[in-house]
Amino acid sequence: MLREERLKLILDFVNERGYCTNELISKELAIPFTTLRRDLTDLHDDSKLKRVHGGAKSIREKSILEAKLDEKLVLNIEAKKIIAKKAFDCIKPFETIFLDAGSSTYFLAELIKPDYNNKVYTNSVINAQVLANNSICNIYLLPGKLKLSTGAICGVETIQALSKYNFDLAFLGINAVDNTFNFYTTDEDEAEVKKMAIEYSQFAFGLADNSKMNSKSFVKFSDKSQIALINEEV
């Protein structure tokens, strides 16, 4: 394979995924590590991608579409577990929490234990079940229309219910984060739920792994002035 063809192959592969480990690139494209490291350095020096520890990130914004939750739960698992642990470390006993639908929040739900005596409000049927399996006593499932692809509850009833509460913390799923740290989701109804959760929370956090970075999706719901981003690096 010619060098120019190999560089284009690597760049397309990274841009399609947003972030890739060196191991994944080497395995999927059958490029030896020594050659790959040299190619990634050249692409980085030409400002076509960004080399990071153990991998490479796209610097081209991409458009992210919604995937089904069961598909997202098997992607970037280790990164999402790191994010969940960082998010859990923000929680104190007896705080009231809004837990959004999503795969990163799913891993956070797995960490919440009954000894903290938290009240947890969620718009996710699956996250509510995870919390129940953890013997959380105070679980509140918000009303509304169920979005089958993601297991999220949203709509007018959800918005009305959220307006009654004040949360200590909100943990929000994010579909995309652009280069200036605007945060996006794929659905207008889910965007409204996230906006309300931010408005009625003392502190709000967005959970997004590196595959969501340098990208945009359908609806912007917040930016870095309103919520703090938690990913595997921040």
> Is beta strand 55-58 parallel, antiparallel or unpaired with respect to 152-154?
unpaired
Structural domains in the chain plus CATH codes: 3-58 (1.10.10.10), 68-230 (3.40.50.1360)
Query: What is the CB neighbour count within 10 angstroms for residue 35?
Result: 14
Select the more confidently predicted residue: 46 or 26: 26
**Average pLDDT rounded to a whole number, residues 139-160:** 93
Inform me whether the pLDDT recorded for 71 exceeds 80: no
Q: What is residue 153's predicted lDDT score, i.e. its pLDDT?
A: 96
If you compute the radius of gyration of the chain from its CA atoms, what whole number of angstroms results?
Answer: 19
The model carries a pTM of: 0.72
Residue-wise pLDDT for 95-117, tens only, equals: 999 999 999 999 999 999 999 99
Residue-wise pLDDT for 156-207, tens only, equals: 999 999 999 999 999 999 999 998 999 999 889 999 999 999 999 999 999 9
AA identity, residue 153: I
The sheet with strand 19-21 has its strands ordered as 19-21, 55-58, 49-52
Query: What is the CB neighbour count within 10 angstroms for residue 29?
Result: 16
Residue-wise pLDDT for 202-222, tens only, equals: 999 999 998 888 888 889 999
What percentage of the chain has pLDDT greater than the value 70? 93
Residue 185, classified by CB atoms within 10 Å of its CB into exposed (0-12), middle (13-18) or buried (19+), is buried
Inform me whether the pLDDT recorded for 60 exceeds 80: no
CA 45 to chain centre: 29
> Is beta strand 201-207 parallel, antiparallel or unpaired with respect to 228-230?
parallel
**Average pLDDT rounded to a whole number, residues 119-129:** 96
Q: What is residue 69's predicted lDDT score, i.e. its pLDDT?
A: 59
Inform me whether the pLDDT recorded for 62 exceeds 60: no
The continuous run of DSSP H or E covering 219 comes out as: strand 219-223
Inform me whether the pLDDT recorded for 74 exceeds 80: no
**Average pLDDT rounded to a whole number, residues 21-47:** 92
Inform me whether the pLDDT recorded for 37 exceeds 60: yes
Q: Are 231 and 79 in contact (CB under 8 A)?
A: yes
**Average pLDDT rounded to a whole number, residues 80-89:** 97
Which SS3 state, helix, strand or coil, does residue 28 take?
helix
**Average pLDDT rounded to a whole number, residues 26-43:** 93
Q: What is residue 18's predicted lDDT score, i.e. its pLDDT?
A: 81
Mean pLDDT, the chain, whole residue set:
91
Q: What is residue 65's predicted lDDT score, i.e. its pLDDT?
A: 47
Tell me how far apart the alpha carbons of residues 69 and 95 are, in angstroms, rounded to a whole number: 27
Q: What is residue 70's predicted lDDT score, i.e. its pLDDT?
A: 65
Tell me how far apart the alpha carbons of residues 164 and 156 are, in angstroms, rounded to a whole number: 13
Which SS3 state, helix, strand or coil, does residue 61 take?
coil
Structure tokens at 164: 């009654």
